[in-house]
Amino acid sequence: MSGAARAAKGAQGITEAIIAEHGLSPEEYKLLLEGLGREPSLTELGIFSVMWSEHCSYKSSKVWLKKLPTTGPQVIQGPGENAGVVSLGDGQAAVFKMESHNHPSYIEPYQGAATGVGGIMRDVFTMGARPIANMNALRFGAPDHPKTRHLVAGVVSGIGDYGNCMGVPTVGGETNFDARYNDNILVNAMCVGLVDANRIFKSAARGVGLPVVYVGSKTGRDGIHGATMASAEFDEASEEKRPTVQVGDPFTEKLLLEACLELMAEDAIVAIQDMGAAGLTSSSVEMADKGGVGIELELDRVPTREEGMTAYEMMLSESQERMLMVIKPEAERTAERVFKKWGLDFAVIGYTTDTGRLVVRHRGMVEADIPLGALAHQAPVYERPWTAKPAPAAVDPREVPAPNSVFQALQALIACPALCSRRWIWEQYDHMVMADTVQRPGGDAAVVRVHGTGKSLAISCDVTPRYCAADPREGAKQAVAECFRNLSAVGADPLAITDCMNFGNPERPEIMGEFAEAVEGMADACSVLAFPVVSGNVSLYNETNGVAIPPTPAVGGVGLIPDGAPMARLALPRDGDILLLLGAEAGHLGQSLYQEMMTGRTEGAPPPVDLVQEKAAGELVRDLIRLGAVSAVHDVSDGGLLVAIAEMALAGGRGVGLEPAPDNLPAHAIWFGEDQARYVVAAAPDKADAIHKAAALAKVPVRLIGRVGGDALTLPGEAPLPLAALKAAHEDWLPHFMSHG
């Protein structure tokens, strides 16, 4: 029986209801019929549905993502592969990407988060890189929402258990609590790996008649339609989707990592692609389509862990810890030996062909026979209608009430869910394994050594969702700028970013507008800061019953501290230093945490981002660090200047005698305004002249804000605030919250 005949026979059962269940619109089904030239079998329908899902096809976002700058002299591989690659010099390169696992993590927080971490690490080692650091960006609902505690506990434990077992340090991240995430939490995981620049593996399967090899775990029925689930809104029935969440096995992934890297040292692999979303379907289609070949799969050879799996189930399974490779025919024995050594399944399940078609055989039948172009580059692309949000008006700081006491306000702020210590989270992550973590969690950026060299990589994840909700364009700019600042603050030259674009339903013009504006803001910032996007992920439909999350364009940045160059920390290292503020003060309280604390709301425009100032201030700070002129550095962000100073004092265990606020602005706007492009630096008093001169050249304002010493913060007119009290306020909230169900 020919494939077409078999498929035509299978088509009889395809009803409108089945099409809708697969998330395809009537128009998309029409496009499918054109691409295929006939009615699909159920397996073919399933294959189209996952390949054309938002998650796999980027159909709503594609036209916008093209606006992002993706090139630069440091860029070896931009978007389009499993992860982006930037040069570190000396023939070395960093491979990195951030990806969302939002929908599964809400439904099953432990496994959802764990497999998110597993997936992003696979993306990195698929490129031939050894993962050296994990990061994550987490958004939970309001602390008083009944599910929040359960979700935090599950997500943190899932991330920890997976990364800890893999032996890859989880070195930092960020966490927000906001009622707008009550029904749609965000779990964005980032992985950074290290590779020799001339040993990078890609996914294009060039060559005909080459064996297609399946390695890793066996295929089960878990995760079927995960990609489709991630491309739809939630409703009351969403928790019934628990079976679509995959189950992670970090031990097998550790073996898969070692086996892949061992085989990659041989001359065996033509192309490699991990089986992530849409599993066997997307990995085989992507490799063949990119290589300009066809592919034939014999599903009877796929290792399965359940009896009687159908072609449909095998093609759509999202079982974890699996890889698909196209290898050189003469390397089959070598490959088999390596994978058997590591106790992993190894099976030749097909061959590349010259037909340009995906042909799937099972039990002697052709279950699918589809032109690859129809699945990949002929997938639907939408220019969805969008509306811009009117930009909110700036807030006059005089209209935000002053506190009774600046220090009392500080003590309350630093204990709030947005600013309190994340120690409870990161102490559950092994952040030291691999013995290269030179800056642990809690600083502006995590720093890991490039093993065996004097170079280090700085990594930071950033976005301020409340800014993005008020003004997606300015908020996205700010996310990139803050990441740039965090890397600069440790002394790293920012290299490039990965992004994780988390938004609501793009079919709503206002959501599409948020997306469009965020992309444009991000593009502006990346371009001015020479900080290109090399990889990323889009997660849409983060909404429940028509209520969307705030636009959350999370940015993960990587920077390089060159061989022998100093690294800065935020901890104040010694008494007697002076504290200086670098950057202009305008007292922006719109969308500030202070405004929220005093008024119960965040309103108005977020602080504007002056990218030219950001660039100048960043370069200045890096220069000062390299010159050895500063002893500690911290960027000013959430909570404003006084919070930044308090964090430096707490980290160093040293007090600060503060200068009174200048009187050109209300004092609370000076202390708590969230103006951008600012850093606090500590320095020996004899370095003050040099710093002033360098700042004047860079056109960055400088102001003396205090002197290091004692065991309290002091300020004329305020009772001294002992560090011990500040520390208790900062450290206690999260553990207390998590242990008091």
| Chain positions contacting other proteins, by CB under 8 A | 157, 160-161, 164-167, 249-252, 254-255, 341-343, 426-438, 440, 449
Q: 165 vs 375, which CB is nearer to other proteins?
A: 165
Q: 101 vs 254, which CB is nearer to other proteins?
A: 254
- The torsion angles phi and psi of 689, rounded to 5 degrees, stand at -60, -50
Burial class (CB in 10 A: 0-12, 13-18, 19+), 149: middle
Q: 389 vs 440, which CB is nearer to other proteins?
A: 440
103 is catalytic: no
Q: How far apart are CA 703 and CA 20, in angstroms?
A: 62
- Report the nearest approach of other proteins to the CB of residue 160 (Å): 5
Could you tell me how far CA 173 lies from the centroid of its own chain?
A: 9
- Report the nearest approach of other proteins to the CB of residue 319 (Å): 16
Q: 121 vs 691, which CB is nearer to other proteins?
A: 121
CB of 300 closer than 8 Å to CB of 367: no
Q: How far apart are CA 260 and CA 272, in angstroms?
A: 10
Q: How far apart are CA 129 and CA 142, in angstroms?
A: 38
Nearest to 197 by CA among 92, 90, 73: 92
Q: How far apart are CA 101 and CA 89, in angstroms?
A: 32
Each as own residue / partner, the long-range contacts of residues 402-407 (CB below 8 Å, 24 or more positions apart, any chain) are: 402/666, 402/667, 402/668, 403/598, 403/668, 405/718, 405/719, 406/642, 406/667, 406/668, 406/671, 406/715, 406/718, 407/713, 407/715, 407/718, 407/719, 407/721
Nearest to 457 by CA among 662, 696, 195: 195
Strand ranges for 309-364 from DSSP E: 322-327, 345-353, 357-362
DSSP codes of every residue in 177-227: E-GGGTTS-EEEEEEEEEEETT--------SSSPEEEEEESPB-STTTTHH
Query: How many residues would you count in the chain?
Result: 741
Q: Mapping DSSP to helix (H, G, I), strand (E, B) and coil, where does residue 667 land?
A: helix
Q: Mapping DSSP to helix (H, G, I), strand (E, B) and coil, where does residue 518 land?
A: helix
225 is catalytic: no
Q: Could you report how far apart the first and last alpha carbons of the chain are, in Å?
A: 62
Give the tokens for residue 47.
């294959």
User: Apex CA 364: angle with CA 358 and CA 366, to 5°?
Assistant: 30
Q: 305 vs 398, which CB is nearer to other proteins?
A: 305
Q: 364 vs 452, which CB is nearer to other proteins?
A: 452
Q: 88 vs 232, which CB is nearer to other proteins?
A: 88
Name the DSSP letter for residue 79. Answer: B
CB of 336 closer than 8 Å to CB of 233: no
- Report the nearest approach of other proteins to the CB of residue 81 (Å): 26
Q: 601 vs 740, which CB is nearer to other proteins?
A: 740
Q: 424 vs 671, which CB is nearer to other proteins?
A: 424
- Report the nearest approach of other proteins to the CB of residue 248 (Å): 11
Q: How far apart are CA 151 and CA 247, in angstroms?
A: 17
Name the amino acid, one letter, at 615. K
Catalytic site residue from 22, 101, 103, 362: 101
Q: 139 vs 431, which CB is nearer to other proteins?
A: 431
- Report the nearest approach of other proteins to the CB of residue 454 (Å): 9
Q: 92 vs 157, which CB is nearer to other proteins?
A: 157
Catalytic site residue from 55, 588, 668, 730: 55
DSSP codes of every residue in 376-391: TTTS--------PPPP
- Report the nearest approach of other proteins to the CB of residue 168 (Å): 8
Q: 405 vs 453, which CB is nearer to other proteins?
A: 453
CB under 8 Å to 317, separation ≥6 — which residues? Answer: 219, 220, 221, 222, 223, 224, 279, 280, 309
Q: How far apart are CA 380 and CA 377, in angstroms?
A: 8
- Report the nearest approach of other proteins to the CB of residue 441 (Å): 10
Pairing of strands 437-439, 446-449: antiparallel
CB of 166 closer than 8 Å to CB of 125: no
Burial class (CB in 10 A: 0-12, 13-18, 19+), 370: buried
Q: Positive or negative, the Cα torsion across 7, 11, 14, 19? A: positive
- By annotation, the residues acting in catalysis are 55, 101
